[in-house]
Structure 1
Amino acid sequence: MKFGLSDLFISVNRSRQIVFYVPFALLLCAVAGFFVEYKFMLQFKQSSPSVKLEGGNLNTLQRQLDNLLIRYKPFRACRDSVSASDPTRSKIQLKGNHVINLGDTIRLNVILFDGYGKAKSTGGDHLRARLFAYSFDAFAPCTVLDNRNGTYTVTAEALWTGWSKLEVDVLFPKEIIATALRIRTTWDFSDIEVAFHNLNVFGTSMCNPNKVMLEKKSETDIICNFSYWNKTMPWFCAKPHGRNISCKHWVSIGRSWTNYTNTLSKCEQELSGRANATIPTETFIKVLPIHSAHSQVTVDQPNIACADYNKSKLWYRLKPTGYFYNGTWILRHCKGLSTFDGNCLRNKIIYFWGDSTLQQWLIYLKSILTFECKVVMKETRHWRMKKTCYCHQYNITLNWMPHNIPISNFSVENPMDFFSKTFCEEICNERKDSDVILIITLYLHIQMYSPRFFALHMVEIRRCVESIFKNNLNVRVFIKLPHTHNKVKIKDVLIKQPDIIGYIFTDIIRKVFKGLYLKVIVLDNQDATRAVKNVPIHPGQIVVRAMVNQFLSYICHDSKSSSV
């Protein structure tokens, strides 16, 4: 796959230019899309960022990029599933003793073999590892290092005493990762269909962020430009034919994933259908207490409260953020909460802007409050509509706002009115002395598309956040990073979901928000979902509780305990 040097840069102007660096992980996905639709990116000179690539020498950069793309051959469909890494034939070797002391580091060497019994000589597979003990309801994520030669180094910390088991999954061979990247660069919003309705006239059409592509696919140049209200991404829809139908008559949006996996080869189908990804080698570790503290069952906890912790360090933590013990998430870098009665949220206005996984946070938060919060504004019972709850006892306002297009199926009388006011405008309209908290997440509804669209969203979100900081000095902004899961089931269509997409999105977020690390608090939820081996899109209660309590720990002071 060859690209000209001109294809490596997108040069666009805007009134307030934002420059960020695109990581190589993003380029892995984005470049394949750029060479097909490079002109598309240039069309949005008023709403797109200026993008630069890391590296001073263009020739060196091109070689690095080519090498990275070769790792996934680039996005080619596999032909022989037996030649892929096979967890049933792969091996785990413990480096060190089975009996260690509390706080020691555990190391494993993982050697991957294919279905023929031949050792793999290249990396690129996605492994997930964890340390757990069901008897203690204890779970901890491990760190996995790809040595790029078919072997992987797994490290974990002995966080509690007693017997525990180490488990390693070959979650996705690199062939499936390549499949996911290929589909995302070619799917191009083919799932979306919108409906228009006026009087007795109905019509349907397709939409796309790329106006030129939309005109080509819909075979019409009569296009509705909805970019001015979608705010965080350009959005165009073909106008249906009909005398009494106009752009303002758009009433609903639908999505269908029926054909999403139609391009899978036989090899890819076989790999996607694997029932078990766990390497069968059983590795048990016995952790002894420290001699000076025989009664100690877990490692020492940090003394610093999360509210006082240097939040900028959260953006590039190399070690896991925490672990579960007795079903409770314990943070490793700062002291979490032991109790919560809602008093620390007194006089606060909290905005939740995101998808249904963030709404899980709002639902859980309301469930643990010891006082009543009444719904004072609710457009509909559906989660995709705005909702405001007010807690009179402590003067707390909880605002729910779904993120912009793309979003899952919904119908509303006027979608343009619904999306015309984003969190940016809402918060800027608050009184300047208001104590405002904003939680942002964007992941699930855009993860099935090319990451370049996610990057466009995040740049516009940063622009909104910067305008909020200028208008209100008493605002705290949190970003919920993607959590891990490994499948999506939409009706009868089961789509394997490589965690690598979430990691790429996380890398994009880190690059886009560089320079705001002291002002924006990032919440890493991957560790909690990896620890419990989360599978579905919507995590279970144990994970949601851990996520929400981690968030609250940065707002509320508590000196009694480090657990939440």
Structure 2
Amino acid sequence: MDLLKKYELPAPKKQTPPMSTPKTTTLSTSTINPYFRSLLKLLEWPGPPTPISHYNSSTSPTKCNYYLLNPRKVYRIGEKLEVIIIARDHNGQPKQYGGDFFQAKLHSPALKAGVTGQVKDYRNGSYLVTFLLPWEGKAQVQIRLIHSSEAVDVLKRKREDYPEKAYFNGYFQLNGKSEVTECNLEVSGDEVCTYKYPSTGGTWQCRRPQTLPCNSLIYHSIGGFRTVTNHLEDSLLNSFVTDVVINGSVPSIYVTSDKTSVVLTSHLLVCRRGQEPRQPSGFYYNDRWTSLTCLGRHFPRPADALSCLKGKNIYMFGDSTLRQWFEYLESFISSLKRIDLHVNDLSGPLIAVDADAGLVMRWRAHGLPFRTTKTVMANIHDEVAHLAGIGGGPQTVIMLSLWAHFTTYPVRVYIERLERVRQEIRSLLLRSPETTVIIKSANTGYKSLYISDWLSLQLDMLLRAAFKGTGVIILDAWDMTSCHYLPDNIHPGPPVIKNEVDLMLSYICPK
């Protein structure tokens, strides 16, 4: 699917097809900044030259294999290890095209060490994986087939053609009566309630209740997920062929350190805005993350973290992966006390303060769409409107995480949202350039049709490109969640969160 060509078509008239029929959404060139239109080129991904008609033609994780390119007897810190992957179908035949989504890491369970590998698709069924060798000691390769190229093609098509596959509930109440209807960024049908956000241009729609007025909408929640796949598509996304470790012939290697070894962090500067994450952006050793982007610090004691955050006015807007930062700091710094606002903790707003230290920390969900349990609609605010109301300053820290709840939508929805956020952040930094703005990248951990690592990666690529050169800090959580020894989880365990927060604090307090 050529996304750039698709989104440059004139916007069609609104239709009301059933969910069994794709609901194509297109983006008029008059409604998007040309800069963001160019971002669509980043999402090009190879795939099957023609639709497959049989499961056996897809990539099989049990038939794929890999081997070491140019093996050597001695490896030193700072050198590269290269591995070739050969993709095969279920009949054992080599694939002739690319597009398989592999994730690779070099790791050592005994050393609690790990680093991500960079995968290059030759588009002919073979792939080159390059690993940096960052620690002394034992290391072993692990490569997983997350999705076959055929499964990726399914993800791509369903993302663009079925924006209503994830839906929400709107709860209307008035004078003792109540109704529940379906809601979304856009719902099918002519009888709809449209809610506009004047300050941002965003909208939300619900099907009109039969007896109640549109202004009686009180609560919001996730509704569910629709089935939009056939039997073949389901088989391509089956757990037996998703996120499976493939077999290889690369034995464990031992990395040495001597006078010729490279000191990987010797050239790094302190953490500051404007630095672009490297590839890889860092590595784990003894369960501690060493950044290869900047001289990251560690904050082992609560007093260290509190000293860094003293006097800070912190705003967090985002999803549950950013809420984990709030909860970690709240637990780690015992003097931070939560103020009970009697709200749904999954959507907020949450607030914790340390009056003696002059520290105020807030988290709240970004604006709709937001998948959550039943919560008061009025408590879910558009993040752009909030940004417009922040004066900023050297003591103000703003953190954003905006991706996980957009994986079910066509990419134009995310691009339009990024454009609004980007414009508001530029305005904020123009009026208050000393404000610290940290944007957390996507996590790994999702593997389904609706919320997949491949879908997250595509949004993450757009996120990084959109904010490049804007003076914000991009904190690379993708690498930090993809090479740890803990199992993949969209909500990573405490060691990962601690390292993420330590890196975040390194940008606030670089020295």
Bigger Cα displacement from structure 2, 393-402 vs 496-505: 496-505
Contact 1:462 1:512 in 2 (8 A): yes
What is the CA distance between 1:183 and its match in structure 2?
A: 1.8
The question of 1:204 aligning with 2:173 is answered no
In structure 2, runs of 5+ residues without a counterpart are 12-21
2:154 aligns with one of 161, 176, 179: 179
TM-score (norm 2): 0.86
Q: Would you say 1:8 and 2:39 are equivalent positions?
A: no
> 1:543 is matched with which residue?
496
Give me the whole-angstrom Cα distance separating, in 1, the residues matched to 2:203 and 2:29. 10
1:389-404 mapped onto 2 (5 Å cutoff): 389-404=352-367
Q: 1:98, 1:284 within 8 Å by CA — same for their partners in 2? A: no
What secondary structure, in the 3-state scheme, does the structure 1 residue paired with 2:244 have? coil
Residues 349, 434 of structure 1: 8 Å contact kept = no
Unaligned 5+ residue runs, structure 1? 12-32, 56-60, 489-494, 559-564
Does the residue aligned with 1:546 lie in a helix, a strand or coil? helix
Structure 2 residue aligned with 1:501:
455
In the TM superposition, 1:293-304 aligns within 5 A as 299-302=263-266, 304=268
Contact 1:229-1:419 at 8 Å conserved across structures? no
2:429 aligned with 1:469: yes
* Alpha-carbon distance in 2 for matches of 1:393, 1:94: 57
Summarize the Cα distance change of 1:227–1:50 in structure 2 as closer, same or farther, 3 Å threshold. farther
SS of the aligned residue for 1:484 comes to: coil
With over 3 angstroms needed to count, the CA separation of the structure-2 counterparts of 1:303 and 1:338, relative to structure 1, is farther
- Cα distance, 1:192 vs structure 2: 2.1
Question: For residue 57 of structure 2, what is the aligned residue in structure 1?
Answer: 83
The one-letter amino acid of 1:114's match is D
Superposition RMSD in Å: 3.3
Q: Secondary structure at the match of 2:406?
A: coil
Cα deviation, residue 384, structure 1? 0.5
Distance in 1 separating the partners of 2:425 and 2:103: 34
Task: Quote the offset at 1:153 in angstroms.
Answer: 0.6
Distance 1:255 1:148 in 2: 39
Partner of 1:314: 276
1:138–1:225 Cα change, 3 Å: same
- 2:129 alignment partner, SS class: strand
What TM-score, normalized by structure 1, do the two folds share? 0.79
2:141 match: 166
Determine the structure 1 residue equivalent to 2:17.
none
Distance 2:327 2:6 in 1: 48
2:14 matched residue in structure 1: none
Query: Which residue does 2:197 correspond to in 1?
Result: 228
Letter in 2 for 1:263: T
Could you give the per-residue CA deviations for residues 105-146 of structure 1, whole angstroms, max 9, x where no partner exists? 111111111111111111110111111111111111111111
| Alignment partners' CA distance in 2, 1:272 and 1:482 | 24
Aligned to 1:365: 329
Residues 77-114 of structure 1 show CA distances to partners (whole Å, capped at 9, x for unaligned) of: x4322221222222212122253222221111111111
Equivalent residue, structure 1, for 2:232: 266
1:279 to 246, 255, 265: 246
Q: Match of 1:324, SS?
A: strand
Whole-Å separation in 1 of the counterparts to 2:281 and 2:120: 17
1:110 is aligned to 85
Letter in 1 for 2:500: M
Give aligned-pair identity as a percent: 21
The match for 1:37 among 25, 38, 44 is 25
**Which residue is equivalent to 2:348?**
385
| 1:348 matched to 2:312 | yes
For residue 145 of structure 1, the aligned residue among 99, 115, 120 is: 120
Instruction: Report whether the alignment pairs 1:527 with 2:503.
Output: no
Separation (CA, whole Å) in 1 of partners of 2:374 and 2:61: 44
